[in-house]
A and B are shown apart, each in its own frame.
Chain A
Amino acid sequence: MKLEQNRIYIKDIQFGDVTAVNNGILTVNKEEMINFLKEDPKVKDVKLDIARPGEKTRIIPVKDVIEPRVKISGGKGFSGVTQTTTQLGDGIVNILYGAAIVTVGDIVGFQEGVVDMWGEGAKYTPFSKTFNLVVDIEPAEGLEPHMHETTVRMAGLKAAEFVGEAGRDAKIDETLTYDIGNIDEETKKYPNLPKVLYVEMLISQGLLHDGYIYGVNSQLILPTLLHPNEEIDGAVISGNCVAACDKITTYQHQNNSAILDLYAEHGKTINFIGVIITPELTTLQGKFRSCDYTAKLCKTLGANGVIVSEEGYGNPDSDLLMICKRLETAGIKTVLITDECSGWDGASQPLADTTPEAVAVVSGGNVSHVVTMGPADKVIGNDKAIATLSGGWEGCLEADGSLKCELNAVIGATSEIGFHYCTAREY
């Protein structure tokens, strides 16, 4: 598959008469965009706001973050979700690089997910560096929780497509090409390089804990093989909005760091042969089946090495380590990417499970690490949600309005696909 990503550098977002990009300034026609999103009768109202890097703005509770793009050729938008099903991964896509759609929607009262655009909090979330168009969705009254979640998820994706359309004829600043042929072709080209697969685990457990591939809920799949281009072209969507620090937002799927880093090494140190999406199920039988099947796919495809990334914490730790055990036992070198839940002092056992086969583990940081974030001048979303963050222990809300919270409340802070700034180091 060959995908050309055309980047249009975005240096600011403003509201204006037309939705367009001129000289790196993205203007958005607020009324048109709101009316477009309100075409869904389940959307009662939409509020739009802009958050720029450096502003003393706090966004909460963030549901998802999506990169605005438009497909020029080879498939359409979010295939199988907002658009009819087409094959993704080939063709040309124009990207408003540096802009993000951030959806806010408090589906339940305990949602976390804070993005601070300045100060201490900004150091931890990758979305403090993007120009954010914040879409706050108020659903129609009486929607049951599943429909509410779907409505907010769909509105975010449609918003990204609406804004992405502005990139169709804009001046292109940079073009990146992602081109990997079939396994046979690549192995002939690089016969001496180790064949490497990337296994991406997705939380697949129900309301606020779901992921989608071409619109298919990952609860319902056996582990499945994707070409890396499919994921970075929008085939994988987040439906998860509880684990703020280590949920994989749609933006992070579109820019999956593990995939991009493996791409960068393809043909140099490795032969990157594909991506396996593995569901993290809830039943033990389901976990055994997914883990066996994942290991079987890796063996069948002849992988010499596998990178496995986790999503979430708790029961998915069991899947992560079971996959590791199966692969290492089969002689396949395995590297795990996870994050740690090691207590405030960082000294506790980091995962809920262990296995001696896990000999190469990359940490995305300690989710229990406590940070203090200063008072915001402006809060976008629901400021009551801040009380949820500050309700954990005594003294977490300082007298000056500063907020003390664990990193688990900060969007993308300890990303388990490496799309962030934290790591853990021995010293």
Chain B
Amino acid sequence: MNKINDFSIVTNNPIVKEKYSQVIFVDGGFEDVLIKTRDLVHSGHELINHPLGASIRMFFSPYRSIIVSSKSTELVDNEHVSIMESSIISYRKQMENRMPDIVNSQDYAIIDSELLDSSVEEMKRFYN
């Protein structure tokens, strides 16, 4: 990714869909967002932020937003592919006995959006 505006957000979060213009909206759950992102990374999109949250609680979030480069290259980054694949395995393992916490969906949507904003700010410090 060369320029700050060359990014897309893979998300199933309706707040993020409203807030950002560069959205690849996934009509599904957290796992579907991971799978869509994995497919993009496999086809040469750069993974910008880590697909998993930083705490167990955020695994129960019904919503997730992940940043990728909007343009793809022919060169697939194996490390990014590996991060995506192991994240999907971790997510499935974590959710084996649990369900997404849909009762608190609205709060998760807000926090996911806030954490995404922080990631975008952090990204801007690298790409400008």
Q: A residues engaging B (CB < 8 A)? A: 108-112, 145-146, 203, 205-209, 219, 240, 242-247, 280-287, 311-316, 318, 341, 343-344, 348-349, 352-353, 367, 387-388, 391-393, 406, 408
Contact residues in B for A109 (Cβ distance below 8 Å): 103-104, 106-107
Q: Which residues of B contact A208 (CB under 8 A)?
A: 111
Residue B60 at the chain A interface, CB threshold 8 Å: yes
Contacts of A391 in B (CB 8 A): 101, 103
Known: A145-B114, A283-B122, A391-B103. A315 touches B97 (CB 8 A): no
Do the beta carbons of A313 and B55 come within 8 Å of each other?
Answer: yes
Q: Please measure, in the bound complex, the distance between the C-alpha atom of A146 and the C-alpha atom of B56, giving whole angstroms.
A: 21
CA distance A408 to B48 in the complex (A): 28
**For the complex, what is the distance from the CA of A111 to the CA of B101, rounded to whole Å?**
11
Task: Say yes or no: A314 contacts B59, CB within 8 Å.
Answer: yes
Give bound CA distance, A315 to B66, whole Å. Answer: 12
**Cβ–Cβ contact B55 & A344, under 8 A:** no
Q: Which residues of A contact B50 (CB under 8 A)?
A: 282-284, 287, 314-315, 318
B3 touches A (CB below 8 Å): no
CB atoms of B101 and A316 under 8 A apart: no
Least distance between A317 CB and chain B CB atoms (Å): 8
* CA gap between A209 and B96 in the complex, in Å: 25
Contact sample, A vs B, 9 pairs, CB 8 Å cutoff: A109-B106, A110-B60, A146-B114, A205-B53, A209-B54, A242-B57, A283-B123, A286-B122, A314-B90
A-B interface contact total, Cβ < 8 Å? 144
Given known A-B contacts A283-B49, A283-B119, A243 and B57 have beta carbons under 8 A apart: yes
Q: A209-B118, A349-B89 are in contact. List 16 more A-B contacts (CB 8 A).
A: A109-B107, A205-B53, A205-B54, A205-B115, A207-B111, A207-B115, A281-B122, A282-B122, A283-B50, A283-B122, A314-B56, A314-B90, A315-B54, A343-B96, A352-B90, A393-B97
In the complex, chain B residues whose CB is within 8 Å of the CB of A246 = 55
Q: Is B108 an interface residue when CB atoms closer than 8 A count as contact?
A: yes
B93 at the interface (CB under 8 A from A): yes
Say whether A313 contacts B56, CB under 8 Å: yes
A23 to chain B, nearest CB (A): 42
**Contact B87–A243 (Cβ < 8 Å):** no
The 4 closest A-B pairs by CB, nearest first: A206-B118, A243-B55, A315-B50, A314-B52
In angstroms, Cα B58 to Cα A316, docked, is: 13
Known contacts A284-B50, A287-B50, A318-B50: A209-B115 contact under CB 8 Å: yes
Q: Could you tell me the distance between the alpha carbons of A54 and B124 in the complex, rounded to whole angstroms?
A: 51
B residues near A280, Cβ cutoff 8 Å? 54
Q: Give the contacts of B88-103 with A (CB-CB under 8 A).
A: 89-90, 93-94, 96-99, 101, 103
> Would A219 and B118 count as touching, CB distance under 8 A?
yes
B111 touches A312 (CB 8 A): no
- A243 CB contact (under 8 Å) in B56, B94, B96, B122: B56
Q: In the complex, A370 Cα to B54 Cα: how many Å?
A: 21
Given A281-B122, A282-B119, A352-B86, decide whether A110 and B101 contact each other with a Cβ distance below 8 A: yes
Q: Report Cα–Cα, A114/B57, bound state, in Å.
A: 14
Q: How far is the CA of A284 from the CA of B104 in the complex (A)?
A: 29
- Given contacts A219-B122, A284-B47, A408-B57, whether A315 and B52 have CB atoms under 8 Å apart is yes
A408 to B114, CA, bound (A): 23
CA–CA, A314 and B110, complex, Å: 20
B37, chain A: closest CB distance, angstroms: 13
Q: Is B80 among interface residues, defined by CB-CB distance under 8 A? A: yes
Interchain nearest-CB distance for A141 vs B (Å): 17
B93 in contact with A388 (CB, 8 Å): no
- What residues of A have a CB within 8 angstroms of the CB of B86 in the complex? 352-353
Contact between A284 and B55, CB atoms less than 8 A apart: no
Q: B58 to nearest A CB, angstroms?
A: 7
Contacting residues, chain A, for B106 (C-beta < 8 A): 109
Residue B76 is within 8 A (CB to CB) of chain A in the complex = no
A301 to chain B, nearest CB (A): 26
Chain B residues near A242 (CB-CB < 8 A): 55, 57-58
Known: A283-B48, A388-B103, A391-B101. A110 touches B123 (CB 8 A): no
Q: Give which listed residue, A203, A344, A387, contacts B54 with CB less than 8 A.
A: A203
